Structure 1
Amino acid sequence: MNRTDRLLAIVLELQGRKIVRAEELAARFETSVRTIYRDMQALSEANVPIVGAPGQGYSLMEGYFLPPLSFSASEAVTLLLGAEFVQKKLEPNYGIHAESSKAKLEAVLPEQVRHEAEQVRATMRLLTSRKEDGSKHERENMEVLRRAMLDRRKIRFHYAKTTGPVPQRDSTRVAAPYGLVHVQGVWMLVAACELRREIRHFRLSRMSGLEETTDSYEFPPDFNLEAYRPQDDRDMEVILLADHGIADRVRESHFYYIDTFEEDHPEGLRVKLRIRRMEEILSWVLGWGAGVIVLEPEALRSRVLEEAEKLLKRY
């Protein structure tokens, strides 16, 4: 990165954060602290209102913003594809803003850059399944959750939990919503559940009767959604053997419970999964038919056999 680009990047970094230490900037741009000191001096001489606090770091004077930036074709495509993702994956209110953002961005791009960006975008397409496209219920829940999180209000909802062949169990929950996570095409709510008295995860598609309550909550000062990793309680190990003919499809399934693959096994692809209950993977295993064999545990082999016998009786 040349010095001009680094100076611009430093201003952007300062604009996005309240205060930044010289050591952080040196690590960010892979240079020395002394070079950062010289860069700060150059920015000050260029009338960029930088405030330096000894022992704390640098910040921009409040109210200072960069003039409109120019974008390369690649940067423009990145932003336009991001806006398209928001349109397809988030609730309608954000979809409207994403559409207006795309229009504004396209309007300010130079003709040459806009033409090049259109050419690149024509080679890419963001597809969603019919299930995702038609998930009006999920998007409506997302809108309620967004308001509740902004208002710091608890929510109340009915939650349906499916456990394989057992009928759905409905329960009424009150929770403090902490954030939304998109995992393998599914939107999950991370929230402090009053019923379980701990942080739990809820699929938006299984939540009904969702409403914002009048009770407020305090966001935990030590909770960071970006850094949060749920405790993994999948303590049951399962070993499967997949025929060579479907090995690639099993790999590409990206099934949540898959832990590791044993490559180049002479009899097929050995797959290790970690689960909490057998019901979590029973349907998935059965879906591969005779192409997948359960090696361990014996209890799961028995369950698969039971289900196969039931199928035989039905047909």
Structure 2
Amino acid sequence: MNKTDRQLAIMLELQRSKILRAEDMAALFETSVRTIYRDIQALSEMGIPILGAPGQGYSLMEGYFLPPIGFSAEEAVTLLMGTDFIEQRLDGDYGNIAKAARHKIEAILPEAVRGESMRVRETMRLLQASESVTGLREKDYLGQARRAILERRKLRISYQKNMPETDGNRKSMREVAPYGLSLVEGYWILIGHCDLRQDIRHFRLSRMTELVVLDKHFAMPHGFNLSHYRPPDDRNERVLVRANPEMADKISETANFYTEAVEERTDGVWFHFRVRTPEELLHLILSWGGDVEVLEPESLRCRIREEAEKIFKRY
């Protein structure tokens, strides 16, 4: 930490903690007590109203706040919960930055607003759609991929596909030019140009078993903007499922991405799904149990029957 950053941090700590000893600040900023004394003197010469009490420590004059920014309790909660999210979902570098940002935000809040924002935060909690936090391995891959994107360096990844290839193998090794990262339904997705497929592909970080940053560089396509990028919709297969009415809400929640239309009929609720391959819905349909029936296609009906027979044999 350089001198300027340390002196700003000292002001923020004094504003947050009200009173601090030089020894405590030296331990916090990993420097000597003499350096803290020099920093306090420099801040005082700049007009910062720092008060010293023998045997107690240093404090800022009451009513002095830096920087002169006012947040309501709701605004403070918005910022602080944002740092919570970053710490949960991004890699270690940004996790540490989020902690530092949260510390600074809390430090500049007047005591009344800080107390109110703490009460509001205690009534809310961030929960992710699929898991509580991004896993450690996924965070590591996220950090490496993020840096590779900025440095325009290719990645070599070992990838576990959700559906097997034509040869039955689920694992594949790819070289990818990484264009960006996107958080989709609780999962980090790497978007990049796959050398094997010669096209833009999406790779879920949680399915990677290895990620290596290569020395090979690449050029970003002219005009590519991740914020404007929309992947082509190649879900060309249709699946028709009939469900008992009491299952309709659960199916709508768990298969919303695939749902094209829903019909309420006398014999149940009919769901029209659009997928890349019918087997994408296999595990979902099995989780819905006997309250649903696949009507089309026949190939998926047979696949469900095979799985049901395997389950029956086990029990």
Q: TM-score, normalised by structure 2?
A: 0.73
Give the letter for the 1:125 counterpart.
R
CA–CA distance in 1 between the matches of 2:204 and 2:123? 33
CA–CA distance in 2 between the matches of 1:217 and 1:132? 35
Q: Structure 1 pair 202/302, CA: closer, same or farther in 2 (3 Å)?
A: same
What is the Cα deviation at residue 279 of structure 1?
1.8
Give the letter for the 1:298 counterpart.
E
CA–CA distance in 2 between the matches of 1:269 and 1:113? 51
Deviations 1:132-163 (A, max 9, x none): 53721111110110111121111111111132
| Deviation beyond 6 Å, 4+ runs, structure 1 | none
**Partner SS for 1:120:** helix
The equivalent of 1:28 in structure 2 is none
Asked if structure 1 preserves the Cα contact closer than 8 Å seen for 2:189 and 2:203, the reply is yes
| Equivalent residues in 2 for 1:175-254, closer than 5 Å | 175-254=176-255
Instruction: Kindly report the root-mean-square deviation, in angstroms, between the aligned alpha carbons of the 2 structures.
Output: 2.1
The equivalent of 1:170 in structure 2 is 171
Asked if structure 2 preserves the Cα contact closer than 8 Å seen for 1:257 and 1:275, the reply is yes
Asked if structure 1 preserves the Cα contact closer than 8 Å seen for 2:87 and 2:99, the reply is yes
**Structure 1 residue ranges without an equivalent (≥5):** 1-66
CA–CA distance in 1 between the matches of 2:266 and 2:115? 52
Give the length in aligned residue pairs. Answer: 248
The equivalent of 1:260 in structure 2 is 261
Amino-acid identity (%): 45
**Higher deviation after alignment, 295-304 or 250-259:** 250-259
1:283 matched to 2:283? The reply is yes
The equivalent of 2:271 in structure 1 is 271
Deviations 1:207-258 (A, max 9, x none): 1221111111111222111111100111001111221222222222254322
Q: TM-score, normalised by structure 1?
A: 0.73
Asked if structure 1 preserves the Cα contact closer than 8 Å seen for 2:294 and 2:300, the reply is yes
Give the letter for the 1:100 counterpart.
A
**Structure 2 residue ranges without an equivalent (≥5):** 1-66
Give the letter for the 1:302 counterpart.
C
Q: Structure 1 pair 244/150, CA: closer, same or farther in 2 (3 Å)?
A: same
Q: Structure 1 pair 122/131, CA: closer, same or farther in 2 (3 Å)?
A: closer
| Equivalent residues in 2 for 1:1-315, closer than 5 Å | 68-128=68-128, 131-133=131-133, 135-163=135-163, 168-262=169-263, 264-315=264-315
The equivalent of 2:39 in structure 1 is none
What is the Cα deviation at residue 195 of structure 1?
0.8
Asked if structure 1 preserves the Cα contact closer than 8 Å seen for 2:242 and 2:292, the reply is yes
Q: Structure 1 pair 167/214, CA: closer, same or farther in 2 (3 Å)?
A: same
Asked if structure 2 preserves the Cα contact closer than 8 Å seen for 1:162 and 1:168, the reply is no
Q: Structure 1 pair 169/241, CA: closer, same or farther in 2 (3 Å)?
A: same
Q: Structure 1 pair 259/274, CA: closer, same or farther in 2 (3 Å)?
A: same
**Partner SS for 2:86:** helix
What is the Cα deviation at residue 267 of structure 1?
2.8
What is the Cα deviation at residue 187 of structure 1?
1.0
Structure whose CA Rg is larger: 2
Give the letter for the 2:231 counterpart.
P
